[in-house]
Amino acid sequence: MKDDRNTAFGWILFSGIIALGASSLSSMYFKADDHELPEGAKPGFFIESEEEEGGADSGPSLATLLASGSASAGEGVFAKCTACHTIAQGGADGIGPNLYGVMGTGIGQHAAGFAYSSALSGHGGEWDFENMDAWLTSPRAFANGTKMSFAGLSNPEDRANVILYLLENGGGPPLPEPEPEDAGEEAGDEVDGAGEGPGAVEGADAGEAEAAGAMGADQPVPAANAAGEN
């Protein structure tokens, strides 16, 4: 009985050794541990992401938004700014400078005596419409290092309305002219079919002009004795 048990354990051990050896040999043969691709082989199953097409439509231009915007709507948006700024003429500076008449003035130079950050006072340029729009979008992106902690306004219409409100309080440069709409398509629509005019209506009497034109067309020549046959 003991011999049979030893024999069974021996066969099990022998089978395990055979299986281990076969696994080792197959691994060596198929290079399972080699992560390099064989020469000439190409990787498969790579999923290529679709290339981003041209940027999404950016929407109406700033000039268009300013032309259709509302200073009164901008006053409502500007309420977010009143914790730091005043806008009344002669108003005191707060955490931020008074903003009456800021449009068109030098960046970081509007409020005399206010301690602007060097990032803003050294920026250069003027508070024109483009710079003010960029500032309202993200103050930190416009002047890295500014003291202003406001995150910015992501809505282009809100920014345009605030600019109009600033312009209403102290004036500034004239509004930019909106870009004219593409008149090419409209002109093309007018050209298509031009000169065709309405065709002759079946059963209707032709006018004098149409009759004259019709006579100019090739007409069958009546026989010499046609009148006598009538």
* Chain segment 40-86, per-residue pLDDT in tens: 545 444 344 343 344 445 789 999 999 999 999 999 999 999 999 99
- What residue ranges do the domains of the chain occupy? 62-168
The H-assigned helical ranges of the chain are 2-30, 62-68, 71-78, 118-121, 129-137, 139-142, 156-168, 183-191, 208-216, 226-229
Q: Which amino acid is at 14?
A: F
Q: Of 100, 98, 142, 148, whose CA–CA distance to 123 is shortest?
A: 142
Q: What is the pLDDT of residue 69?
A: 96
Q: To 10 degrees, the CA torsion angle through 145, 148, 87, 178?
A: 70
Q: Which residues, 6+ apart, have CB-to-CB distance to 56 below 8 Å? A: none
Question: Is 50 exceeded by the pLDDT of residue 206?
Answer: no
- How much is the average pLDDT of 116-142? 96
Distance (Å) of CA 177 to CA 60, 109, 125, 146, 164: 13, 27, 21, 31, 14
Q: What is the pLDDT of residue 2?
A: 55
Question: Is 80 exceeded by the pLDDT of residue 35?
Answer: no
Query: By CB neighbour count within 10 A (0-12 exposed, 13-18 middle, 19+ buried), where does 159 fall?
Result: buried
pTM: 0.57
Confidence at 18, pLDDT banded by 50, 70, 90: confident
Q: What is the pLDDT of residue 101?
A: 97
* Chain segment 135-180, per-residue pLDDT in tens: 999 999 999 999 898 999 999 999 999 999 999 999 999 999 998 8
Tell me which of 104 and 185 has the higher pLDDT.
104
How many other C-beta atoms can be found within 10 angstroms of the C-beta atom of residue 100? 19
> Alpha-carbon torsion 117, 121, 126, 130, what sign?
negative
Query: By CB neighbour count within 10 A (0-12 exposed, 13-18 middle, 19+ buried), where does 220 fall?
Result: exposed
Tell me which of 91 and 212 has the higher pLDDT.
91
- Does 3.90.1150.10 match the CATH number of domain 62-168? no
Question: Is 70 exceeded by the pLDDT of residue 22?
Answer: no
